[in-house]
Amino acid sequence: MPDEDRHRQSRLFTDDDGGFDAERAREQSLPVEDGEVVDTDELADHQHYVEGRGIYDERNRVNDLTGKEWKFATKSVIAQGYPPAVQHELRSEHGGQKPPRLCAELIGRFSTAGDTVLDPFAGVGGTLLGASFCEHEGTGLREAIGFEQNDRWIDIYEEVLERENADRRERGEPPLAAQELRHGDCAELIDDLEADSVDLLLTDVPYWHMDELEQTRNERATRESKLGSFDTVDDTDLAGGDADDAADGDVTDSVASEPTDEAPTQTKAEWLAEMADKFDRFTDAVSPDGHVVVFIGDMYRDQSYEFLSADLARALESETSLTLAANLIWYDPSKDLHVYGYPFSFVPSMVHQNVLVFRVADAE
Ligand SMILES: C[S@@+](CC[C@H](N)C(=O)[O-])C[C@H]1O[C@@H](n2cnc3c(N)ncnc32)[C@H](O)[C@@H]1O
Protein backbone atom coordinates (compact mmCIF):
# COMPACT_ATOMS: atom_id res chain seq x y z
CA MET A 1 0.00 0.00 0.00
CA PRO A 2 1.49 3.39 -0.95
CA ASP A 3 2.33 5.56 2.06
CA GLU A 4 -0.18 8.26 1.18
CA ASP A 5 -3.06 5.73 1.17
CA ARG A 6 -2.01 4.50 4.59
CA HIS A 7 -2.13 8.04 5.93
CA ARG A 8 -5.50 8.60 4.37
CA GLN A 9 -6.86 5.49 6.07
CA SER A 10 -5.72 6.70 9.49
CA ARG A 11 -7.28 10.12 8.94
CA LEU A 12 -10.62 8.42 8.23
CA PHE A 13 -10.74 7.29 11.83
CA THR A 14 -10.10 10.48 13.71
CA ASP A 15 -12.52 11.64 16.38
CA ASP A 16 -13.85 15.19 16.80
CA ASP A 17 -10.59 16.26 18.45
CA GLY A 18 -8.50 14.92 15.61
CA GLY A 19 -7.26 11.90 17.62
CA PHE A 20 -7.33 8.33 16.37
CA ASP A 21 -10.80 6.78 16.87
CA ALA A 22 -10.05 3.14 17.58
CA GLU A 23 -13.70 2.27 18.12
CA ARG A 24 -14.68 3.44 14.67
CA ALA A 25 -11.74 1.63 13.12
CA ARG A 26 -12.80 -1.60 14.86
CA GLU A 27 -16.37 -1.12 13.67
CA GLN A 28 -14.94 -1.25 10.15
CA SER A 29 -13.23 -4.56 11.06
CA LEU A 30 -9.77 -3.08 10.96
CA PRO A 31 -7.19 -4.61 13.29
CA VAL A 32 -6.34 -2.09 15.99
CA GLU A 33 -3.48 -2.42 18.43
CA ASP A 34 -2.17 0.12 20.93
CA GLY A 35 -4.12 2.94 19.35
CA GLU A 36 -3.07 2.23 15.76
CA VAL A 37 -4.36 0.27 12.81
CA VAL A 38 -2.15 -2.82 12.38
CA ASP A 39 -0.74 -3.12 8.93
CA THR A 40 -1.32 -6.83 8.40
CA ASP A 41 0.67 -6.66 5.11
CA GLU A 42 3.73 -6.10 7.23
CA LEU A 43 3.35 -9.31 9.21
CA ALA A 44 5.82 -12.12 8.58
CA ASP A 45 4.56 -15.46 7.23
CA HIS A 46 4.68 -16.99 10.69
CA GLN A 47 2.58 -14.20 12.22
CA HIS A 48 -1.12 -13.53 12.07
CA TYR A 49 -3.38 -11.03 13.70
CA VAL A 50 -5.97 -12.35 16.19
CA GLU A 51 -8.84 -9.94 16.55
CA GLY A 52 -8.86 -8.20 19.89
CA ARG A 53 -5.77 -10.09 21.09
CA GLY A 54 -2.86 -8.98 18.96
CA ILE A 55 -0.28 -10.68 16.79
CA TYR A 56 0.26 -14.41 17.22
CA ASP A 57 3.55 -16.00 16.22
CA GLU A 58 3.17 -19.56 14.97
CA ARG A 59 6.65 -20.37 16.27
CA ASN A 60 5.35 -19.98 19.84
CA ARG A 61 6.30 -23.25 21.58
CA VAL A 62 5.22 -22.23 25.07
CA ASN A 63 1.58 -21.18 24.89
CA ASP A 64 -1.20 -19.81 22.66
CA LEU A 65 -0.61 -16.19 23.61
CA THR A 66 -0.09 -13.28 21.27
CA GLY A 67 2.92 -11.02 21.71
CA LYS A 68 0.88 -8.49 23.64
CA GLU A 69 -0.54 -11.17 25.97
CA TRP A 70 2.92 -12.73 26.38
CA LYS A 71 4.29 -9.41 27.60
CA PHE A 72 1.85 -9.46 30.54
CA ALA A 73 2.15 -13.20 31.10
CA THR A 74 5.88 -12.93 31.72
CA LYS A 75 5.43 -10.44 34.55
CA SER A 76 7.10 -11.85 37.64
CA VAL A 77 4.30 -10.75 39.96
CA ILE A 78 0.66 -11.78 39.75
CA ALA A 79 -0.97 -9.10 41.85
CA GLN A 80 -4.50 -10.36 42.02
CA GLY A 81 -6.95 -11.62 44.59
CA TYR A 82 -9.45 -14.27 43.63
CA PRO A 83 -12.74 -13.75 45.45
CA PRO A 84 -14.63 -16.87 46.58
CA ALA A 85 -15.91 -18.72 43.52
CA VAL A 86 -16.49 -22.16 42.04
CA GLN A 87 -18.30 -23.69 45.06
CA HIS A 88 -15.70 -22.17 47.32
CA GLU A 89 -17.48 -23.19 50.50
CA LEU A 90 -17.32 -26.82 49.51
CA ARG A 91 -13.69 -26.67 48.36
CA SER A 92 -12.57 -24.79 51.47
CA GLU A 93 -13.04 -27.89 53.60
CA HIS A 94 -9.62 -28.78 52.20
CA GLY A 95 -7.85 -25.70 53.56
CA GLY A 96 -5.03 -25.73 50.98
CA GLN A 97 -7.15 -25.28 47.87
CA LYS A 98 -6.03 -22.99 45.06
CA PRO A 99 -8.32 -20.66 43.13
CA PRO A 100 -9.26 -22.44 39.88
CA ARG A 101 -9.03 -19.21 37.88
CA LEU A 102 -5.47 -18.59 39.08
CA CYS A 103 -4.66 -22.14 37.95
CA ALA A 104 -6.31 -21.40 34.59
CA GLU A 105 -4.14 -18.29 34.27
CA LEU A 106 -0.97 -20.33 34.86
CA ILE A 107 -2.13 -23.13 32.56
CA GLY A 108 -2.66 -20.48 29.85
CA ARG A 109 0.92 -19.27 30.30
CA PHE A 110 2.57 -22.69 30.13
CA SER A 111 0.51 -24.84 27.76
CA THR A 112 -1.49 -24.77 24.56
CA ALA A 113 -5.07 -25.87 23.81
CA GLY A 114 -5.36 -29.65 23.78
CA ASP A 115 -2.28 -30.16 25.99
CA THR A 116 -2.23 -32.52 28.94
CA VAL A 117 -1.80 -31.09 32.44
CA LEU A 118 -0.89 -33.24 35.44
CA ASP A 119 -1.40 -32.41 39.12
CA PRO A 120 0.06 -35.21 41.26
CA PHE A 121 -1.13 -33.53 44.51
CA ALA A 122 -4.55 -32.55 43.23
CA GLY A 123 -6.53 -31.94 46.45
CA VAL A 124 -10.04 -30.75 45.58
CA GLY A 125 -9.01 -30.04 42.02
CA GLY A 126 -7.94 -26.38 41.60
CA THR A 127 -5.71 -27.38 38.67
CA LEU A 128 -8.34 -29.66 37.12
CA LEU A 129 -11.02 -26.98 37.30
CA GLY A 130 -8.52 -24.45 35.89
CA ALA A 131 -7.85 -26.73 32.92
CA SER A 132 -11.61 -26.89 32.27
CA PHE A 133 -11.99 -23.10 32.57
CA CYS A 134 -9.42 -22.73 29.77
CA GLU A 135 -12.09 -23.96 27.33
CA HIS A 136 -14.40 -21.03 28.06
CA GLU A 137 -12.14 -18.32 29.46
CA GLY A 138 -8.86 -19.11 27.73
CA THR A 139 -7.50 -20.41 24.48
CA GLY A 140 -9.03 -23.91 24.68
CA LEU A 141 -9.60 -26.96 26.83
CA ARG A 142 -6.67 -28.82 28.35
CA GLU A 143 -6.98 -32.42 29.41
CA ALA A 144 -6.07 -32.71 33.08
CA ILE A 145 -5.14 -35.71 35.19
CA GLY A 146 -4.97 -35.46 38.97
CA PHE A 147 -3.71 -37.83 41.65
CA GLU A 148 -5.06 -37.60 45.18
CA GLN A 149 -4.60 -40.00 48.07
CA ASN A 150 -7.53 -38.79 50.16
CA ASP A 151 -10.86 -39.91 48.71
CA ARG A 152 -12.72 -37.17 50.61
CA TRP A 153 -11.07 -34.59 48.29
CA ILE A 154 -12.03 -36.61 45.23
CA ASP A 155 -15.67 -36.69 46.36
CA ILE A 156 -15.56 -32.93 46.88
CA TYR A 157 -14.10 -32.31 43.41
CA GLU A 158 -16.91 -34.35 41.88
CA GLU A 159 -19.56 -32.56 43.94
CA VAL A 160 -18.06 -29.16 43.04
CA LEU A 161 -18.20 -29.98 39.35
CA GLU A 162 -21.79 -31.18 39.61
CA ARG A 163 -23.00 -28.11 41.51
CA GLU A 164 -20.97 -25.67 39.42
CA ASN A 165 -22.36 -27.13 36.21
CA ALA A 166 -25.90 -26.96 37.58
CA ASP A 167 -25.31 -23.23 38.30
CA ARG A 168 -23.79 -22.73 34.87
CA ARG A 169 -26.76 -24.42 33.21
CA GLU A 170 -29.09 -22.04 35.04
CA ARG A 171 -27.04 -19.09 33.79
CA GLY A 172 -27.14 -20.50 30.25
CA GLU A 173 -23.37 -21.16 30.24
CA PRO A 174 -21.73 -24.27 28.78
CA PRO A 175 -20.59 -26.88 31.34
CA LEU A 176 -17.05 -27.30 32.63
CA ALA A 177 -15.49 -30.51 31.33
CA ALA A 178 -14.99 -33.30 33.86
CA GLN A 179 -11.33 -34.15 34.33
CA GLU A 180 -9.78 -37.36 35.58
CA LEU A 181 -8.96 -37.46 39.29
CA ARG A 182 -7.31 -40.78 40.19
CA HIS A 183 -7.29 -42.07 43.73
CA GLY A 184 -4.01 -43.28 45.24
CA ASP A 185 -0.42 -42.48 46.03
CA CYS A 186 1.16 -40.32 43.34
CA ALA A 187 4.41 -42.27 43.76
CA GLU A 188 2.61 -45.32 42.41
CA LEU A 189 0.12 -43.71 40.02
CA ILE A 190 2.89 -41.92 38.13
CA ASP A 191 4.02 -45.30 36.74
CA ASP A 192 0.78 -45.50 34.73
CA LEU A 193 1.66 -42.41 32.70
CA GLU A 194 3.72 -42.79 29.56
CA ALA A 195 7.02 -40.96 29.25
CA ASP A 196 6.68 -37.45 27.77
CA SER A 197 2.86 -37.67 27.82
CA VAL A 198 2.38 -34.56 30.00
CA ASP A 199 2.92 -31.02 28.71
CA LEU A 200 2.56 -29.14 32.00
CA LEU A 201 2.82 -30.32 35.57
CA LEU A 202 1.07 -27.77 37.80
CA THR A 203 0.87 -28.53 41.47
CA ASP A 204 0.82 -27.32 45.01
CA VAL A 205 3.05 -29.48 47.16
CA PRO A 206 1.98 -30.91 50.52
CA TYR A 207 3.50 -28.66 53.14
CA TRP A 208 6.39 -29.55 55.31
CA HIS A 209 5.12 -30.46 58.77
CA MET A 210 7.86 -29.65 61.15
CA ASP A 211 9.18 -32.63 63.07
CA GLU A 212 7.94 -32.63 66.66
CA LEU A 213 11.43 -32.95 68.05
CA GLU A 214 12.66 -30.04 65.97
CA GLN A 215 9.62 -28.03 67.01
CA THR A 216 10.14 -28.71 70.75
CA ARG A 217 13.78 -27.72 70.41
CA ASN A 218 12.80 -24.49 68.68
CA GLU A 219 10.10 -23.71 71.19
CA ARG A 220 12.58 -24.10 74.03
CA ALA A 221 15.04 -21.82 72.25
CA THR A 222 12.25 -19.27 71.80
CA ARG A 223 11.36 -19.31 75.48
CA GLU A 224 14.97 -18.78 76.43
CA SER A 225 15.41 -15.94 74.02
CA LYS A 226 15.11 -12.30 74.94
CA LEU A 227 12.15 -11.99 72.59
CA GLY A 228 9.99 -14.23 74.71
CA SER A 229 6.97 -12.23 73.63
CA PHE A 230 6.79 -14.58 70.68
CA ASP A 231 5.59 -17.32 72.96
CA THR A 232 2.23 -15.67 72.90
CA VAL A 233 2.01 -15.90 69.14
CA ASP A 234 0.51 -19.11 67.86
CA ASP A 235 3.04 -20.89 65.71
CA THR A 236 0.46 -21.57 63.09
CA ASP A 237 -0.34 -17.89 62.76
CA LEU A 238 3.23 -17.29 61.75
CA ALA A 239 3.18 -19.87 59.05
CA GLY A 240 3.14 -18.72 55.49
CA GLY A 241 1.67 -20.58 52.60
CA ASP A 242 -1.85 -19.47 53.26
CA ALA A 243 -2.19 -16.69 50.73
CA ASP A 244 -4.39 -18.97 48.69
CA ASP A 245 -6.93 -19.39 51.43
CA ALA A 246 -7.64 -15.73 51.97
CA ALA A 247 -7.44 -15.00 48.30
CA ASP A 248 -9.79 -17.80 47.60
CA GLY A 249 -12.05 -16.31 50.22
CA ASP A 250 -10.97 -18.33 53.21
CA VAL A 251 -9.32 -16.58 56.11
CA THR A 252 -8.24 -19.71 57.96
CA ASP A 253 -4.57 -20.67 57.90
CA SER A 254 -3.93 -23.53 55.55
CA VAL A 255 -1.13 -25.08 57.53
CA ALA A 256 -3.43 -25.55 60.49
CA SER A 257 -6.30 -26.84 58.45
CA GLU A 258 -4.34 -29.11 56.13
CA PRO A 259 -5.41 -32.72 56.48
CA THR A 260 -3.41 -34.69 59.01
CA ASP A 261 -2.79 -37.49 56.51
CA GLU A 262 0.02 -35.46 54.98
CA ALA A 263 3.27 -36.63 56.54
CA PRO A 264 2.53 -35.37 60.07
CA THR A 265 6.11 -35.24 61.32
CA GLN A 266 9.18 -34.82 59.17
CA THR A 267 12.39 -32.85 59.31
CA LYS A 268 12.81 -30.29 56.58
CA ALA A 269 15.63 -32.33 55.07
CA GLU A 270 13.36 -35.38 54.91
CA TRP A 271 10.57 -33.38 53.33
CA LEU A 272 12.94 -31.93 50.71
CA ALA A 273 14.36 -35.38 49.94
CA GLU A 274 10.86 -36.80 49.55
CA MET A 275 9.82 -33.99 47.21
CA ALA A 276 13.01 -34.34 45.13
CA ASP A 277 12.48 -38.08 44.84
CA LYS A 278 8.85 -37.67 43.76
CA PHE A 279 9.54 -34.88 41.27
CA ASP A 280 12.39 -36.87 39.77
CA ARG A 281 9.87 -39.57 38.91
CA PHE A 282 7.13 -37.13 37.81
CA THR A 283 9.56 -35.45 35.44
CA ASP A 284 9.91 -38.57 33.30
CA ALA A 285 6.25 -38.15 32.33
CA VAL A 286 6.74 -34.52 31.24
CA SER A 287 7.75 -33.79 27.66
CA PRO A 288 11.16 -32.12 27.11
CA ASP A 289 9.41 -28.94 25.91
CA GLY A 290 7.17 -28.92 28.98
CA HIS A 291 7.17 -27.03 32.26
CA VAL A 292 6.81 -27.95 35.90
CA VAL A 293 5.12 -25.23 37.93
CA VAL A 294 4.93 -25.48 41.72
CA PHE A 295 3.10 -23.37 44.29
CA ILE A 296 5.02 -23.09 47.53
CA GLY A 297 4.58 -20.67 50.41
CA ASP A 298 7.48 -19.67 52.65
CA MET A 299 6.98 -19.80 56.42
CA TYR A 300 7.92 -17.83 59.47
CA ARG A 301 8.66 -20.13 62.39
CA ASP A 302 10.30 -19.48 65.72
CA GLN A 303 11.76 -16.12 64.86
CA SER A 304 13.20 -17.13 61.58
CA TYR A 305 12.12 -17.09 57.99
CA GLU A 306 11.90 -20.54 56.41
CA PHE A 307 12.72 -19.89 52.78
CA LEU A 308 10.96 -23.06 51.68
CA SER A 309 10.61 -21.93 48.08
CA ALA A 310 14.37 -21.44 47.73
CA ASP A 311 15.08 -24.70 49.57
CA LEU A 312 12.67 -26.61 47.34
CA ALA A 313 14.02 -25.00 44.16
CA ARG A 314 17.59 -25.95 45.10
CA ALA A 315 16.58 -29.50 46.07
CA LEU A 316 14.74 -30.07 42.80
CA GLU A 317 17.51 -28.52 40.73
CA SER A 318 20.19 -30.64 42.35
CA GLU A 319 18.30 -33.95 42.49
CA THR A 320 16.29 -33.88 39.24
CA SER A 321 16.80 -32.74 35.66
CA LEU A 322 14.66 -29.63 36.29
CA THR A 323 16.08 -26.14 35.72
CA LEU A 324 14.57 -23.18 37.53
CA ALA A 325 13.29 -20.67 34.96
CA ALA A 326 11.42 -18.25 37.21
CA ASN A 327 10.02 -17.56 40.63
CA LEU A 328 6.69 -15.86 40.12
CA ILE A 329 5.16 -14.14 43.10
CA TRP A 330 1.43 -14.45 43.58
CA TYR A 331 0.58 -11.38 45.66
CA ASP A 332 -2.93 -11.18 46.97
CA PRO A 333 -3.77 -7.52 47.73
CA SER A 334 -7.06 -8.53 49.35
CA LYS A 335 -5.49 -10.68 52.05
CA ASP A 336 -6.20 -9.67 55.65
CA LEU A 337 -3.22 -8.38 57.62
CA HIS A 338 -2.50 -9.41 61.19
CA VAL A 339 -0.19 -7.71 63.67
CA TYR A 340 2.76 -10.01 64.27
CA GLY A 341 5.75 -9.22 66.49
CA TYR A 342 4.68 -5.65 67.33
CA PRO A 343 6.39 -3.77 68.94
CA PHE A 344 9.45 -5.92 69.48
CA SER A 345 10.45 -7.48 66.24
CA PHE A 346 9.75 -7.47 62.55
CA VAL A 347 7.69 -10.46 61.52
CA PRO A 348 6.40 -10.55 57.93
CA SER A 349 2.70 -10.72 57.20
CA MET A 350 2.68 -13.17 54.33
CA VAL A 351 0.53 -11.87 51.52
CA HIS A 352 2.30 -13.80 48.80
CA GLN A 353 3.12 -17.25 47.62
CA ASN A 354 5.88 -18.35 45.30
CA VAL A 355 5.21 -20.10 42.03
CA LEU A 356 8.38 -21.88 40.95
CA VAL A 357 8.63 -22.43 37.21
CA PHE A 358 10.99 -25.14 35.98
CA ARG A 359 12.00 -26.21 32.52
CA VAL A 360 12.31 -29.92 31.98
CA ALA A 361 15.12 -29.64 29.50
CA ASP A 362 17.41 -26.69 28.91
CA ALA A 363 16.15 -24.36 26.20
CA GLU A 364 18.29 -24.55 23.03
C1 LIG B 1 -1.52 -28.56 49.05
S2 LIG B 1 -2.70 -29.75 48.72
C3 LIG B 1 -3.20 -29.42 47.06
C4 LIG B 1 -4.43 -28.57 46.97
C5 LIG B 1 -4.90 -28.34 45.55
N6 LIG B 1 -4.04 -27.42 44.84
C7 LIG B 1 -6.34 -27.83 45.48
O8 LIG B 1 -6.60 -26.84 44.80
O9 LIG B 1 -7.17 -28.43 46.15
C10 LIG B 1 -1.76 -31.22 48.56
C11 LIG B 1 -2.59 -32.48 48.36
O12 LIG B 1 -1.72 -33.56 48.10
C13 LIG B 1 -2.29 -34.74 48.63
N14 LIG B 1 -1.19 -35.70 48.78
C15 LIG B 1 -0.17 -35.68 49.67
N16 LIG B 1 0.67 -36.71 49.47
C17 LIG B 1 0.16 -37.41 48.42
C18 LIG B 1 0.57 -38.59 47.72
N19 LIG B 1 1.66 -39.23 48.07
N20 LIG B 1 -0.19 -39.01 46.68
C21 LIG B 1 -1.31 -38.35 46.31
N22 LIG B 1 -1.76 -37.24 46.95
C23 LIG B 1 -1.03 -36.77 47.97
C24 LIG B 1 -2.92 -34.29 49.93
O25 LIG B 1 -3.94 -35.16 50.37
C26 LIG B 1 -3.42 -32.89 49.57
O27 LIG B 1 -4.78 -32.91 49.24
Q: How far apart are CA 351 and CA 80, in angstroms?
A: 11
Determine the pLDDT at residue 214: 60
Q: How far apart are CA 244 and CA 352, in angstroms?
A: 8
Residue 264 pLDDT level (bands cut at 50, 70, 90): low
Residue spans of the domains in the chain: they are 20-59, 77-359
User: What CATH architecture applies to the domain 77-359?
Assistant: 3-Layer(aba) Sandwich (3.40)
Sign, CA dihedral 176-177-183-186, equals: negative
Helix residue ranges per DSSP H, 16-150: 22-27, 67-73, 88-91, 100-110, 126-137
Best probe residue, ligand 1, of 89, 121, 330 (max atoms within 8 Å of C-beta)? 121
- pTM greater than the 0.75 cutoff: yes
Contacts of 2 (CB under 8 A, 6+ apart): none
Supply φ then ψ for residue 358, to 5 degrees. -115, 145
On whether the CB atoms of residues 331 and 351 are closer than 8 A, the answer is yes
Q: How far apart are CA 73 and CA 291, in angstroms?
A: 15
Determine the pLDDT at residue 257: 34
Residue 257 Cα to ligand 1 middle (Å)? 13
Return the residue whose CA atom lies nearest to atom 27 of ligand 1.
123
Which of 17-26, 280-289, 355-364 reaches the highest mean pLDDT?
280-289
- pLDDT greater than 90 at residue 103: yes
Q: What number of residues does the chain have?
A: 364
Return the residue whose CA atom lies nearest to atom 10 of ligand 1.
206
Which of 16-30, 35-49, 175-189, 208-222 reaches the highest mean pLDDT?
175-189
Using a 6 Å CB cutoff, which residues line ligand 1? 94, 96-98, 121, 123-126, 147-150, 153, 185-187, 204, 206, 259, 262
Mean of the per-residue pLDDT values of the chain: 84
Residue 241 Cα to ligand 1 middle (Å)? 14
Residue 206 Cα to ligand 1 middle (Å)? 6
**What average pLDDT score do residues 187-198 get?**
98
Burial class (CB in 10 A: 0-12, 13-18, 19+), 43: middle
Q: How far apart are CA 235 and CA 251, in angstroms?
A: 16
**What average pLDDT score do residues 240-253 get?**
39
